[in-house]
A and B are shown apart, each in its own frame.
Chain A
Amino acid sequence: MNRKKNLIVLFVALFLFIPLGLLQVKINYTRTLEDLEGRLLLMPGQVAGSLVLGGFRGIAADLLWLNIEDFWHKGQHYKMLPLLDSVSWLQPQYITVWAIGGWHMAYNIYANVGGKSDELEKQLNEKIQGAGRGLQNALKPIVKISGEIHELKENCDSYNGRGMPEKDMPGLIARLDNYKTSLEVFQKKGDIQPFAETVMKLADIAREQLFWYTKGVTFLKKGVSYNPEKYDLYFELGWTYFHKGKDYANATRYLEKAVRFPHPAYVDNVLAHAYELNDEPDKALKEWEKQLNGGFSSIAERAIHAIKTEGAFNPRKRRMLGLGD
């Protein structure tokens, strides 16, 4: 090949960069349309690492996930948080990380943190019973606060409690903060101080539980913002509000969004229950009627009958209305 032909070859090679550039624009457009963009957030201090990971984000996310599992089993919950965030940054469409992360926070860590209070309460009661009558009298305000904290926790956790609706959350936190302020007075009093400290710990635990529940809900909401076209995280969020928070207004809000996308039948089922508990029996009836031809038809029939004749089907609602199970 002579020099001229060789130059033509080079010219053709360079010319081909023009259609290549135009094609890249089309590819970028398709990537945006099909949600294939990397969406790797560049965080201060993480830029270098994130960049090097370029083509291997999945592996990086998996390794971090293994660390999360490790921290979870070791009970090092706070260490899980940045890792959960990192995994979600690396693969925001990995629904499992949002679902499991939210569940870990709102359920597992919540329960794990709350578990410490049982032992503390037991110790406190034993100490109070072992104290002299004079000291017992002096401890009365502390015992009262301890009882109220216990009641608050019971109200949040028990099946028949009020739960933790978002609108009540500031009030709950304020109450716990007030208890702590009241207990500070007793901290300087010699004999009473250890009792006051224990009750303060109980208040802290209750506060921490509320923190983890809120954190779980917030995490799920963040997941929803990255995956708005799938039912999964709307359902997870709705379920967390419904089951854990007993926040039926928010539960119906997110479950209604979940049923707009292809979803399994149980989502409709939960939505019907949520409507009922949110004092929307008409909507609950409509929702059950939709399920008459589905996999939950026999339950739907019973639900419609119970709501029409007795006013409630959901066991919690029935108990609230004083009806039998």
Chain B
Amino acid sequence: MKKSWIIALNTFNESLRKKTFYILLVVALVVIGASRFFSFLAAEDELKMIKDVSFSTIEFFGALIAIFTALAAVSGEIEKRTIYTLLSKPITRNNFIIGKLIGQSLIILLNVLLMSIFFIVLLFIKKSPPDVQEFKTIFLLFVELILVGSITLAVATFATDAFNLIFSFFLYIVGHLTSYGQQLLERTENFIVKRLGGLLYTTIPNYENFNIKDKVVVGVDVSWKYVGQTTLYGIIYITIAVLIGIYFFHKREV
């Protein structure tokens, strides 16, 4: 675990040195700040807009940071050939993948924290302090972003950066639409399509599980039970992604 932690800290520091992280973070903060321009609306509408824009920004820019960090985590080491040094030391490939995941999760955490603090300050300025529902939303977004990053990391162990980038974005969009796919499947009578669709529905990450922001902004209360179930879903899927990553990284000739 100590070895993984060293890799994690190294990944974290490496990501902090990249300009992409800061550019995305600054743009995200500007977008969140820009939501204050809706002050011509009624107070309630303005507050809803601030929340909508902030949550969506945390999610979207968080996903960008998660994907780009995960992309650089493996291919960066291979390109710079530092991976040879790393793996020749008493560091296993398992340590490497787990360390990379922890490292990128720390970067995601930092990014979510900074954006959330900015968002919360905005809420205080609008004299509407955040309640527990807002924190639940941010927490589930954080779990979602780690999942996005872990899948990108897993794919990075066997695919090229270009493929991984397209695949990760595609999966991000499709992962938000699986529930609609399931609705369509329920109406299908073809057995094969139904089974195949069911299989896809289970294997494709259901990112919509983590999406409670649209409900929270309109005052729907989300239970801790739901947060717990969804977090468990995220943990299981992240584990699957890490295991697949480990499997392919062992097969890779590095």
| A contact residues vs B (CB 8 Å cutoff) | 1, 6, 9-10, 12-13, 16-17, 19-21, 23-24, 26-28, 30-31, 34-38, 40, 42, 51-52, 54-59, 61-62, 65-66, 69, 91, 93-96
Contact = CB atoms under 8 A, between A and B. Distances in A.
B202 A21 contact: yes
B93 A1 contact: yes
A19 B93 CA distance: 26
Contact of A13 (B176, B211, B247): B247
24 contacts: A1-B92, A1-B94, A6-B250, A13-B243, A17-B240, A19-B236, A20-B202, A24-B201, A28-B179, A30-B225, A31-B209, A34-B221, A34-B222, A36-B212, A36-B215, A54-B173, A54-B180, A58-B51, A58-B52, A59-B53, A65-B45, A93-B220, A94-B48, A95-B219
B218 A93 contact: yes
A26 B230 CA distance: 10
Contact of B232 (A9, A23, A34, A36): A23
B213 interface: yes
Interface string B212-254: 1111011111110110011011001101100110110011000
Given A1-B250, A55-B211, A95-B219, A17 B243 contact: no
Interface in B197-214: 201-203, 206-209, 211-214
Contacts of B240: 13, 16-17, 20
A129 B34 CA distance: 58
Contacts of A56: 56, 60
A55 B247 contact: no
B125 interface: no
A24 B53 CA distance: 28
A62 B53 contact: yes
B131 interface: no
B177 A96 contact: no
A229 to B, nearest CB: 10
A69 B41 CA distance: 9
A42 B180 contact: yes
A50 to B, nearest CB: 8
Contacts of A59: 52-53, 56
B222 A91 contact: no
Contact of B217 (A9, A12, A52, A58): A58
Contacts of A23: 229, 232-233, 236
B122 to A, nearest CB: 15
B21 interface: no
A285 to B, nearest CB: 35
Contacts, number: 131
A10 B247 contact: yes
Given A1-B94, A62-B48, A93-B220, A27 B53 contact: no
Contacts of A21: 202
A83 B78 CA distance: 51
Given A16-B239, A23-B232, A96-B48, A9 B53 contact: no
A71 B213 CA distance: 27
Given A1-B94, A38-B208, A95 B218 contact: yes
Given A23-B236, A36-B220, A93-B219, A61 B230 contact: no
Given A36-B215, A55-B176, A55-B208, A9 B226 contact: no
B251 A6 contact: yes
B59 interface: yes
B180 A52 contact: no
Given A20-B237, A24-B206, A58 B214 contact: yes
A30 B223 contact: yes
**Best-surrounded residue of A24, A26, A93 (most CB of chain B within 10 A):** A24
A57 B214 contact: yes
Contacts of A35: 215, 220
Nearest to A92: B218
A58 B202 CA distance: 26
A21 B237 CA distance: 10
3 closest cross-chain pairs (CB), A and B: A54-B176, A13-B243, A58-B52
A55 B207 contact: yes
B145 interface: no
Contact of A20 (B41, B48, B236): B236
B142 interface: no
A6 B215 CA distance: 42
A58 B212 CA distance: 11
B93 A38 contact: no
B55 interface: yes
Interface string B145-158: 00000000000000
B49 interface: yes
**Best-surrounded residue of B53, B215, B250, B251 (most CB of chain A within 10 A):** B215
Contacts of B79: none
Contacts of A12: 243
A40 B222 contact: no
A83 B38 CA distance: 18
B220 A52 contact: no
Contacts of A91: 214, 218
B175 to A, nearest CB: 8
